[in-house]
């Protein structure tokens, strides 16, 4: 089974790109973030035509929005949403094979890393704590669970182009990486990318639109993650971050991350 996550930055604007990705890489399930579309206007048909007939969408007008499109049927959809502010930032589904997926779009958090003066940063910290609590509460249940999405935190030094220069930049500040680590520990989540790539090795999933040449400067961050519950450890076969797709015409600033499981 192959499951991918991608912050697509408008699913309508990038529908041709996502179709190409699905045709070339053939994931069974794709979790999208930043769809930027309300449910009634979600482009269901192109996904349907490509075989992704099972769709769990949770969007809103213009901002945020998550969706799960799948070739495998759902046993259940929901729960939905963690967000204090009522944004569409989470969608849960359980696949027919029993694997539970949680698709997340964690708030970016604005520019100033001070919750006292920046409400968006305060919201981000609150959201990370809520994620921790949600899974800590059900730690005794040992079913196969995957948490995927744009978590908007680059936790390790090797997840950013310059650890020193980003210590006071939202996404890599100590308060965020600490909460991120606590959320990860609360459910004994496995960081699937780092299961396959050693922590010394730099790897990114996002490159800013503002760079004159994203590839030459390579000032990236690893903001997109796949976490697996401990009982899935033996089933993990591979992970891929599709860096090349950052160079496609009309690219998103994020590239997809895909994991392969033997289930």
Q: Specify the residue, 31 or 228, whose C-beta has the smaller distance to DNA.
A: 31
Look up residue 73 and give its DSSP letter: P
Pick 47 or 187: Cβ nearer DNA: 47
Q: Closest CB to DNA among 131 and 145? A: 131
Q: How far is the CB of 35 from DNA (least distance, A)?
A: 9
Nearer to DNA, 71 or 254 (CB): 254
Minimal distance, residue 181 CB to DNA, in Å? 22
Q: Give least dist CB 202 to DNA, A.
A: 19
Query: From residue 175, how far is each of 29, 170, 205 by CA, in Å?
Result: 33, 10, 21
Which residues does residue 191 pair with via DSSP β-bridges, in sequence order? 227
Sign of torsion over alpha carbons 181, 36, 14, 108? negative
Query: At residue 105, what are phi and psi to the nearest 5 degrees?
Result: -125, 95
CB of 38 to DNA, least distance (A): 7
Burial class (CB in 10 A: 0-12, 13-18, 19+), 241: buried
Positions touching DNA (CB under 7 A) are: 9-10, 12-13, 34, 36-37, 61-64, 107-110, 120, 208-210, 250
DSSP assignment, residue 111? S
Angstrom distance (rounded) from CA 226 to CA 99: 14
Nearer Cβ to DNA (160/228): 160
Tokens of residue 138, six digits: 């059900």
The distance of closest approach from Cβ of residue 107 to DNA in the complex, given in angstroms and rounded to an integer, is 5
């Amino acid at each position: 089974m192959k499951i991918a996550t991608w912050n697509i930055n408008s699913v309508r604007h990038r529908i041709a790109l996502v179709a190409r990705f699905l045709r070339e890489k053939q994931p069974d399930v794709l979790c999208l973030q930043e769809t930027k579309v309300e449910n009634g206007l979600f482009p269901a048909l192109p996904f349907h035509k490509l075989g992704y007939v099972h769709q769990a969408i949770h969007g809103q007008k213009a901002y945020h929005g998550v969706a799960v499109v799948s070739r495998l049927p759902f046993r259940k959809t929901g729960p939905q949403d963690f967000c204090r502010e009522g944004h569409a930032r989470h969608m849960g589904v359980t696949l027919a094979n029993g694997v539970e997926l949680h698709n997340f779009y964690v708030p970016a958090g604005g520019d100033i890393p001070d919750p006292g003066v920046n409400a968006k940063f305060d919201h981000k910290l609150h959201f990370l704590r809520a994620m921790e609590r949600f899974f800590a509460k059900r730690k005794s249940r040992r079913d196969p669970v995957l948490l995927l999405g744009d978590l908007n935190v680059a936790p390790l030094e090797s997840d950013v182009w310059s650890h020193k220069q980003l210590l006071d930049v939202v996404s890599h500040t100590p308060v965020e990486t600490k909460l991120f680590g606590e959320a990860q520990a609360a459910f004994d989540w496995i960081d699937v990318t780092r299961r396959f790539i050693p922590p010394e090795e730099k790897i990114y999933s996002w490159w800013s639109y503002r760079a004159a040449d994203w590839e030459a400067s390579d000032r990236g961050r690893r903001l997109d993650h796949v976490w697996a519950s401990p009982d899935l450890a033996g089933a993990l076969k591979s992970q891929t971050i599709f860096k090349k797709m950052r160079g496609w015409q009309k690219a998103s600033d994020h590239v997809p991350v895909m994991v392969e499981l033997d289930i």
